[in-house]
Structure 1
Amino acid sequence: MEAWPTPLLPTSVPGRGAAPLLYDSATQGLVAAEPTGDTATLYVCGITPYDATHLGHANTYLAFDTLQRVWRDAGYTVRYAQNVTDVDDPLLERADRDGVDWRDLARSEVDGFRADMTALGVIPPDAYVAVTDRIDAAAVATAELLAAGLAYRVPAAEASDDSDGADIYFDQIAASDVSPWQLGDESRMARDEMLRIFAERGGDPDREGKRDELDPLLWRAKRDGEPWWESPVGRGRPGWHIECSVISLDELGGSTITVLGGGSDLIFPHHEFSAAHAAALTGEPAARLYAHAGMIAYQGEKMSKSLGNLVKVKDLVVAGVDPQGIRLALLAHHYRADWEWTDASLASASSRLQRWRDAPLTDDSGDALDRLRSALHDDLDTPGALAVIDAAVDAGGLSGELRSLIHLLLGITL
């Protein structure tokens, strides 16, 4: 699957940054986000394409765009993979509601997402992978887990007559005995909290026949009226978590990646069990660290498709908003912060962008290059980085070198 065009990046900027310190959700502390070699690997969970890109999505992908830019400034090669969950219950339900083919809905929304990422100047993934292109890989991985005694079948009365009549679940207790993963490693949650969130986010703790309430689905047996594929484990389709496990392993070297990222609403159960599956398949930790972006609220509630309280990137662009202003409005908040979008957020960003663009061109950067890099080294502190630029503008202007570094690290062209 094609991603979107790579934005123009400066090729000559004086100096060099360092690998940043990132907050690791697993250890709940700052960890150096540096690879073992010259290539930093990044996996960020992509969209389920049943509605347009909202600012919550944009905030997440902009956070990891900033990480890519800091890595590049530090001299690393970056290998980045992202999935598209183009078959899943929310997508199927929306297509059924609207009376459209689920494949057409997915294609349309992916096209819109590409356009939004292009407008925002986000560096695309090297591998942009549809789940429907990796059904075989997910099924083979499920078969491997079955053979290793780390998965089991649960009869499904509602399964189609021409299926094998059983769903397949991951045995997380057995996996914790034989792999480097332990339940809670990624989420640091108590079990009662896990059960609550598991039920809210697609899990089925009350499913009869499961060995443990928290065991996640690996493979859903064919149901009448649902998409399905032939596979080594029977007719059906993959569960949510295994898709990201196999795509990250296939695309990023088959072993521990540098950073696994996404929105904070994915910490549990999605990243917890994606990491569990990968560790069970390879015998190695899924990632060196787990980074998560905060949630954006609007009108008092978390911005989400289910609530419908969305501020959509395309709507702002169609209304004539400069996408760089949208980008700057998001960068004004720390990527891990939860905050609420208001019209004032955009107005303030637009004013700041114009002030920077109107700043005189100076010859001397002073220590602004070092201070800008230092801010982003400290857990991608974009508000601190913007303050450095504001101070330079107030002090008399922006040099050509500083403008180039702003373009490289923040994606803002002046």
Structure 2
Amino acid sequence: MPRPGHRHAAASLPWDVARELAHAASAALAPRSLPLSAADGTTLATPLVSPGAVPPVDRSAMDGYAVRGEGPWQVVGTILAGSGVVAELQDGQAYAIVTGGSVPAGTTGVLQDELAVLSGDELLGTVVAGQHIRLAGEECAAGEVLLPAGVRIDPSVLGLAAAVGLDRLTVIPKPRVAAFVTGDELVQRGASGPGQVRDAIGPMLPGLIERAGATCTTVTHLNDSRQELLDAIAGCEADVILVSGSSATGPADHLRAGLTALGAELVIDGVACRPGHPQALARFDDGRLVIGLPGNPFAALTAFLTLGVAALHRLRGLPLPTLPVAPIPGGLAGHPTSTRLVPVRVTPEGAVPVGHAGSAMLRGAAAADALAIIEPGPTTAIAARLLSLDPGATPWTF
């Protein structure tokens, strides 16, 4: 018989299936037009197209002199970066010019300052045709697609958008995530005492949410009250609602019954993994998702990385992340029926277990870089996929 307060593992979904279902449980959020200052971390909803050529005119790539023909040249003026169009150069003429300045028509090349010899107004040096000139349209032509839809917007993308003259981008915005941490036994300050447990999940969730590309709107602590939980969920307008500590089947676990009472569809009801098997995911008709996280801290972390990250990627218009494979020196034993999630440190030799992997422990996760995904079965895994403990990190390659 299953233990009281725990969902029977045989009724739970395989870990990979649960992750895929979490990604498929929703659709990307509706696109919005945002100023560049608010677009970092969002996803391009439409291709990034240059409205004009960049650069729009031929420009100097160096501080120096725009010259025509072979030297020596007579310096007849100066072109600053903000100068307008300058009259065409004649043979034997030169203009002093700064980086980014528009080169006059007829320019053979730009003689950089370090190689120029100036005697009065006479300039000496050697120039190769086209030297140090950024040609009009060199970076892109008008109407050219620079990036496809689905690209995550980072500072370099914002810089590119500004460089081609855009002030706004059409993006899939960051999902809004609210978290409710339940438990009469939890304390938020100081050490725990008899009958008390220091809340470790509440301080952990905002960083996880932000690193997963979403916005944490609130972390609220609730008592073990069904009505209090129902009211909190019903009144929450976030795209994703995280509930920790009420996802099992004990007398203080009200999430599943509460979701049924509110009319939500339970998409995932337990995952065959250790730790974290009581996790759940439900969906409302309006598209809001509720993810149930176990009350033990490491189990809650594994559940967020399993269901939360997958769901948030879909809401952001991104595919389910592919997990890299790493060798495991010494190997790791599998569980007979459940996927094991084991904290490991990533080294040049592979993924090395760090220990302290109990469902209530965060010591192992804090010392680790990733979770090794050990498939169920009696064999010892000598390689495993890696689930990064930082949802925003670039995957490793081996």
Which TM class, normalised by the smaller chain length? under 0.3
| TM-score when normalising by structure 1 | 0.23
- Larger gyration radius, structure 1 or structure 2: 2
The higher-RCO structure (CA 8 Å, 6+ apart) is: 1
| TM-score when normalising by structure 2 | 0.24
| Between structures 1 and 2, the one with greater helix share | 1
| Between structures 1 and 2, the one with greater strand share | 2
